[in-house]
Amino acid sequence: MDDSLIVIDNLVKRYGDHTILDNINLEVKTGQALVVIGPSGSGKSTLLRCIAALEPIQRGSIRIDGKLAAKGVENAGAQPDAASLRDLRQRIGMVFQQFNLFPHLTVLENITLAPRRVRGMKRDEADALATELLRTVGLEEKRDVHPERLSGGQQQRAAIARALAMRPKIMLFDEVTSALDPELVGEVLRTMRQLAEQGMTMLVVTHEMGFARDVADDVIFMDQGKIVERASPDVIFENPTEARTRAFLERLLDREGRRN
Amino acid sequence: MNDFQFGRILAYWPDLLRGVGVTFQLGLISASLGLVLGLALALMKFSRHPLAYWPAYVYVEFFRTTPPLVQIVWLYYGLPLITGYDLGAFGSAAVALGLNIAAFYSEIFRAGLVGVHRTQWQASRVLGLGLIDTLRFVILPQAIRNVLPPMGTTTIYLIKDTALASAIGTPELLRIGQLISVETFRPVETLTIVALLYFTVTYPVALFVEWLERRFKVARA
């Protein structure tokens, strides 16, 4: 039994005639933290959304824990059934750019809703779990307030705690700091770094190159719906093999240099 | 100088009170029927499945484009002819009004559901929540806040429309008023009192909706 948590084979995703993901092959092993970088429109977020089963795929397959989680609608054969899909989905946690907390529920209720309804956890058990998770993301004192009373960084940390409450085997982070004020980015990245150090398997789409350099086991560079290059951060940032990776990073660093 | 004789009308107070009761029951039953059916229709219209969408579409368009009076009369006289089943005056009126208002409620529900951002559905989905749980705990609590004001107005319209039941002899408030004015030859006084009594039914509904609005006033992220 190998330790592959996610295996993606020849994934093709299209919207109409427009190909978003073009023959993606990707393997994520348990405990790995992978960071996906690339220009906007390169398909990074769509890739995460396909893994989270928020988007149907046209061709190829996605396996999670060795079980079929998604199959191209154009492929022959049966799709995975609804019950096993629900089961697989619980192994995936996802955090969004816009947090997507439930505005009518308190932070605690946001976190406990899925454990109680999906896992059938008792209220006090779920409350204890939520309290523990809020401590790890540093929000214990916010457990009874509504999301609108939180800063963006706090909302995002609450969203991370909510995803963790389902005890996922892998966490997907979709540009989770892009909607934050610059001074709030650090606290969210710290939480994510902490998770990676604890051995959480993560797939992170981000523009934070410092995070990619420090935390990633591998960095994946995507462009025009393809994975152009996958390598350790050292290789990607110091000596990328592909000209396209180099060009992207040079443009990015140039822009950041001018900003500073 | 006036010779209004409200006293003569008020002498009929036990009948008027019974009329208020029937009006209230008509409103309550048809509103309940309308709410349940309206929510179901709204959800059906969200479905991409043609067997869910099209029946709901045809239903809503039929019931909101034809007069409720026609629907009441049709159900009262037509249904027994076709099916042999007679709902009676009160039953026909309650069901017809409920079927009618469901079309309007469903469009309000739909607007409320559309108003909840689709990312709330996605967040629920990645947490593994099923459709029913997502609706019950995430979507509807947020939608209800948006729909309460138009729901209140529509319900008040409904209660006033219960007066149409007088056409088939349901002993509701307006019908009682008609009978009293025939007996007393005092239509102006009678209708004035009847109008005030309608107010005593509709105004509490308005207050109730206001109270609900305060209760469901929740934060937006």
What does the pLDDT average to over B42-68? 94
Does the pLDDT value for residue A253 go beyond 60?
Answer: yes
Specify the pLDDT at position B84.
85
What does the pLDDT average to over A182-186? 91
The Cβ of residue A68 has, within 10 Å, a number of other Cβ atoms equal to: 17
Tell me the pLDDT tens digit for each residue of A224-236: 999 999 999 999 9
B123:A102 CB<8 A: yes
**Taking CB atoms and an 8 Å cutoff, what residues of chain A touch B123?**
96, 100-102
HSE-CB at B66 with a 13 A cutoff on CA atoms is 16
User: Which residue of chain B comes nearest to A120, CA vs CA?
Assistant: B129
HSE-CB at A37 with a 13 A cutoff on CA atoms is 26
B128:A147 CB<8 A: no
pTM of this structure? 0.83
Instruction: Compute the mean pLDDT over every residue in chain A, rounded to the nearest whole number.
Output: 92
Tell me the pLDDT tens digit for each residue of A30-73: 999 999 999 988 999 999 999 999 999 999 999 998 888 989 98
| Pick among A48, A55, A100, A162 to test the B interface (most B CBs inside 10 A) | A100
- What ipTM is given for this predicted complex? 0.89
* Residues of A within an 8 Å Cβ radius of B: 52-54, 86, 89-90, 92-94, 96, 98-105, 113-114, 117-118, 146-149, 155, 162-163, 166
Tell me the pLDDT tens digit for each residue of A105-134: 999 999 999 999 999 999 999 999 999 999
CA atoms of A89 and A92, how far apart (whole Å): 5
| Pick among B119, B121, B127, B140 to test the A interface (most A CBs inside 10 A) | B127
Specify the pLDDT at position A259.
59
For residue A260, give how far its alpha carbon lies from the nearest alpha carbon of chain B (Å). Answer: 32
A86:B128 CB<8 A: yes
Strand partners, A94: A172
User: Which residue of chain B comes nearest to A164, CA vs CA?
Assistant: B127
For residue B116, give how far its alpha carbon lies from the nearest alpha carbon of chain A (Å). Answer: 11
pLDDT band at residue B163 under the 50/70/90 scheme? very high
pLDDT band at residue A2 under the 50/70/90 scheme? low
Instruction: Compute the mean pLDDT over every residue in chain B, rounded to the nearest whole number.
Output: 92
Tell me the pLDDT tens digit for each residue of B174-190: 999 999 999 998 899 99
What does the pLDDT average to over B102-106? 97
User: Which residue of chain A comes nearest to B141, CA vs CA?
Assistant: A104
What does the pLDDT average to over A96-107? 95
pLDDT band at residue B220 under the 50/70/90 scheme? very low
Contact B97, B165 (CB under 8 A): yes
Q: What is the 3-state secondary structure (H, E, C) of chain B?
A: CCCCCHHHHHCCHHHHHHHHHHHHHHHHHHHHHHHHHHHHHHHHHHCCCHHHHHHHHHHHHHHHHCCHHHHHHHHHHHHHHHHCCCCHHHHHHHHHHHHHHHHHHHHHHHHHHHCCCHHHHHHHHHCCCCHHHHHHHHHHHHHHHHHHHHHHHHHHHHHHHHHHHHHHCCCCHHHHHHHHHHHHCCHHHHHHHHHHHHHHHHHHHHHHHHHHHHHCCCCCC
Specify the pLDDT at position B146.
86
B219:A148 CB<8 A: yes
Does the pLDDT value for residue A1 go beyond 70?
Answer: no
Does the pLDDT value for residue A260 go beyond 70?
Answer: no
* Residues of B within an 8 Å Cβ radius of A: 119-120, 122-123, 125-130, 133, 137-138, 141-142, 145, 218-221
What does the pLDDT average to over A17-39? 94
B128:A89 CB<8 A: yes
B128:A90 CB<8 A: yes
Enter the tokens of residue B65. 């484009």
Q: What percent of chain B clears pLDDT 70, i.e. is strictly above it? A: 97
Specify the pLDDT at position A257.
65
Does the pLDDT value for residue B196 go beyond 90?
Answer: yes
Q: Which of A99, A103, A148 sits opposite B142 (nearest CB)?
A: A103
What does the pLDDT average to over A172-196? 93
The Cβ of residue A183 has, within 10 Å, a number of other Cβ atoms equal to: 9
Contact B103, B60 (CB under 8 A): yes
